[in-house]
Amino acid sequence: MISIIIPAEKNENYIDRALESVADQTYADFEALILHSNTDALKRAVGQKFIKDARFRFIETPKDITAGAARNIGLEAVTGEYVYFLDSDDYISSDALQMLIENMDGHPIVRGRMRRTEHDSSEIESAAEKRRTTIFHRNRYNLVRNHSALHFLIKKDLIDRLDLKFAEAEQTYSDLMFVIPMLEAVEVVPFVYEALYFRRRRNDPITHPSLRQMPIEQRMHDMFAIYNRLKQSRLSFEAETLLDTLLLNFYRKHLIVKFKNKDEIDVHFEGLQETIRKVNPSVLKTKDKVLQLDVRTIQSRSRRTFKRLSRVRDVLRDAKRGFTKRNGRKEFIYKYSYMKKPLMDDLVIFESFQGKSYSDSPKYIYQQMLKSRSGYNHVWVLNKKQKLPGDPVTVKRFSLKYYYYMARAKYIVSNVRMPNSYIKRAGQKYLQTWHGTPLKRLAGDMDDVHMPGTNAAKYKKNFSKETDKWDYLIAPNAYSSAIFKRAFWFTNTMLETGYPRNDILMTDDNPVIIQDIKEKLGLPKDKKVILYAPTWRDDEYYKVGQYKFSMQLDLERLKEKFGDEYIILLRMHYVVASKMDLTGLEGFAYDVSKYDDVSELYLASDMLITDYSSVFFDYANLRRPVLFFTYDIEKYREQLRGFYIDMETELPGPLLMTNGAVVDAIENIGEIEEEYQERYDAFYDRFCSWDDGRASEKVVDAVFEE
Ligand code: C2G
């Protein structure tokens, strides 16, 4: 019988998938030992069939023990002849155990193949990829480069004879205590290609880190402790190579970065020195020269010498980046020259949508500053040349001047994230206005990330680094305030003021502004205006930051039907790079994607068509009709983002799936308004009631002294 040991603490979301894969095994002679500190609660959470099946044993552990300690408790309870470890957030192919046991061939251990996966999948290898078993000899240590005991099938005899146990005090690297002595005791390990283990890539390193995503501090402590303990016994050269390489890689990957802060060297140098002195010189010789120099300095020199060396190294490394990385030279000057100059207390730098426009809340905060605060100087980040009221300095994003002002301005006002290269200085105040009431899940609330060039874990890590820098964040309504706190991990000052960008929607001289806008855009004044403003799709792109949009709205049909009465303004989201071809639609459809300020377009329109864009939350301030053209709602909701509110029951207008439905709705817009009156009122109360036309004033009062 095979005893499968499954620590299940904190993985309640995934465990059913893991147990399912165990229940599905073609090799049925197993027991599953499921370890948890509250087995009653766990039993309520898992599928009934696992409780009825006596092969699944739920074993209660003390609270707050490490995964290693839980596995050791499992080992005590094992009744099988073979032992196998499965993590409760992973799963295995249905013939995994059978393949492993059949290929053991009299050896005491066997290993199968690991796969990384982000999603639940039942996808198993295609036959073409299948290969026979191979035998690992001296290279068997490569099988634990991930320092994990997973996916070995092990004879219980061997475990007993060697008295193998996991480290219990350490959260991470605990498996090394088990697998290194195990590999030392055998000569060969058969490796079975067909036996698959799916290792889940975890999505939330901030609030639910997997062990690998634990803070560096913890991992360093554990790594040093385990390394030192293992080094006490005599090890084969191969085992030493594995351990030394793990240590050196850890140093290179994590500690060099950590030691950019020189105080960290003071805290950790002694522990590091004691540990790194044990590295086998012949292993060290195989590593690159720069690493060798670092390690030798740590081994034989004082903390002060090492500190001095690492300071020089940081500058050299940044200088090298200066030659290789785009904007690297400017970043170097930013860091080593501009950042050394004092902050300018009266300087404010404004940016909206990455310098793409003079718009959104930063624009209205700026205008309010012009009105009510003298004594400040202003810089606008703008990628195209443009004359602005108040004649501020304008700089292009990522120009040398941009870096200069970013280093020197005491105040930063932006509605999107700053670039990763931005370093927040002590004393700097960063006001983040954000750019919409969230409908689609945000940052920390996202399960998967489908944007190019990133994954959920990376995305969230970067995002939380950014939100850590925000001193103030604006909330347009109570609903957003609660979501922002959670999804942005935000604990600083929330300005619950409503959106500065919506102040203009409440002004009295509306008709005048509207005429102005229509003139500026060259629109006919005798026609009613439909504004079509959809959002972008995470998975449709040309490259990072440039998204595709394919127009599904049948403009020809709309023109034919409504051309006498209406015109339509087409407003693409600012990350959409697709060009529109409007031949034949002249005088009816206008591309206003480049128009700076969407708030002005709201004012100039009589009706909005959108999809999952936050624009409708703002537009509802006008109490004008809103239609939702949601032809891809299933994909958008299920696969891409997920929503915070129920689109079917809570929106102030109908969901329309086809062009036919859109035509009908426009034709009967009066009836729709009546039908949705009650919902519209409820929606307005919930999302618009903080917007009173004075948000800019309140924000300026809270952030900028007179
Ligand atoms: N926007 C616009 N034109 C569009 C779509 C959006 O001008 N066709 C502007 C609006 O000001 C809108 C903002 O960009 O409020 C954000 O756009 P969303 O479509 O909501 O999408 P996103 O940029 O992903 O931000 O909490 C809000 C979310 O983060 C959404």
Q: State yes or no: pLDDT of 85 exceeds 80.
A: yes
Cα Rg of the chain (Å, integer): 31
275 touches 247 (CB < 8 A)? yes
| Cα 539 from Cα 555, distance rounded (Å) | 24
Q: State yes or no: pLDDT of 124 exceeds 70.
A: no
Ligand 1 centroid, distance to 534 Cα (angstroms): 9
What is the reported pLDDT for 127? Answer: 42
| Cα 220 from Cα 205, distance rounded (Å) | 17
Tell me which of 484, 603, 614 to substitute to probe ligand 1's pocket, judged by most ligand atoms within 8 Å of the beta carbon: 614
**Where does the chain hold its CATH 3.40.50.11820 domain(s)?**
335-498
In angstroms, the first-to-last Cα distance of the chain is 78
Q: What is the CATH number that goes with domain 335-498?
A: 3.40.50.11820
Q: State yes or no: pLDDT of 120 exceeds 60.
A: no
Residue identifier of the C-alpha nearest atom 2 of ligand 1 = 573
Q: Which atom of ligand 1 is found nearest the CA of 617?
A: 15
Ligand 1 centroid, distance to 533 Cα (angstroms): 9
Q: What is the ipTM of this complex?
A: 0.96
Sign of CA pseudo-dihedral 192, 198, 201, 204? negative
Q: State yes or no: pLDDT of 211 exceeds 90.
A: no
Tens-digit pLDDT profile for residues 376-393: 999 999 999 999 999 999
Q: Which residue type sits at 176?
A: L
Q: What phi-psi label fits residue 454: left (phi over 0), alpha (psi between -120 and 50 degrees) or beta? A: beta
11 touches 39 (CB < 8 A)? no
Q: Which atom of ligand 1 is found nearest the CA of 576?
A: 8
The two tokens of residue 322 are 């200066």
Residue identifier of the C-alpha nearest atom 3 of ligand 1 = 573
pLDDT interval class at 28 (50, 70, 90): very high
Ligand 1 centroid, distance to 617 Cα (angstroms): 10
DSSP-assigned letter for residue 641: -
| Cα 275 from Cα 76, distance rounded (Å) | 32
Q: Which atom of ligand 1 is found nearest the CA of 438?
A: 26
181 touches 175 (CB < 8 A)? no
Sign of CA pseudo-dihedral 316, 321, 323, 328? negative
Q: Which atom of ligand 1 is found nearest the CA of 610?
A: 8
Ligand 1 centroid, distance to 436 Cα (angstroms): 6
What are the residues whose beta carbons fall under 8 Å from the beta carbon of 359, sequence distance 6 or more? 352, 353, 501, 596, 597, 598, 599
Tens-digit pLDDT profile for residues 472-523: 999 999 999 999 999 999 999 999 999 999 999 998 778 888 999 999 999 9
What is the reported pLDDT for 126? Answer: 45
The two tokens of residue 117 are 């996966």
Q: Which atom of ligand 1 is found nearest the CA of 575?
A: 23
Give the three-class secondary structure for 513: helix
**Residue-wise DSSP of 656-695:** E-SHHHHHHHHHTHHHHHHHTHHHHHHHHHHHTTT--S-H
The two tokens of residue 39 are 């087995």
Given the DSSP bridges, would you call strands 189-200 and 109-117 parallel, antiparallel or unpaired? parallel
What are the residues whose beta carbons fall under 8 Å from the beta carbon of 331, sequence distance 6 or more? 318, 321, 322, 325, 403, 421
Tens-digit pLDDT profile for residues 216-243: 899 999 999 999 999 999 999 999 999 9
Fold topology of 2-210: Spore Coat Polysaccharide Biosynthesis Protein SpsA; Chain A (3.90.550)
Ligand 1, pocket residues at CB < 6 Å? 360, 435-436, 438, 442, 533-535, 571-573, 598, 613-615
Residue 471: closest CA among 426, 436, 509, 419? 426
**pTM here?**
0.79
The region of weakest confidence among 74-88, 166-180, 354-368, 438-452 is 438-452
Judged on CB neighbours under 10 Å (0-12, 13-18, 19+), 664 is: middle
pLDDT interval class at 129 (50, 70, 90): low
Ligand 1 centroid, distance to 632 Cα (angstroms): 18
Place of tokens 């193998």: 164
What is the reported pLDDT for 119? Answer: 58
pLDDT interval class at 457 (50, 70, 90): confident
| Cα 542 from Cα 659, distance rounded (Å) | 27
Q: State yes or no: pLDDT of 369 exceeds 90.
A: yes
307 touches 268 (CB < 8 A)? no
DSSP bridge pairs for 413: 350, 431
Ligand 1 centroid, distance to 311 Cα (angstroms): 43
Q: Which CATH architecture has domain 503-687?
A: 3-Layer(aba) Sandwich (3.40)
**Where does the chain hold its CATH 3.90.550.10 domain(s)?**
2-210
Place of tokens 């005048």: 512
* In the chain, % of residues over pLDDT 90: 80
52 touches 58 (CB < 8 A)? no
The mean of the pLDDT values for the chain is 93
Q: Which residue type sits at 397?
A: R
346 touches 377 (CB < 8 A)? yes
**Where does the chain hold its CATH 3.40.50.12580 domain(s)?**
503-687
Phi, psi of 133 (to 5 degrees): -70, 140
Q: Which residue type sits at 471?
A: D
| Cα 414 from Cα 389, distance rounded (Å) | 18
Ligand 1 centroid, distance to 434 Cα (angstroms): 10
Instruction: Count CB atoms within 10 A of the CB of residue 545.
Output: 12
The region of weakest confidence among 164-178, 303-317, 340-354, 655-669 is 303-317
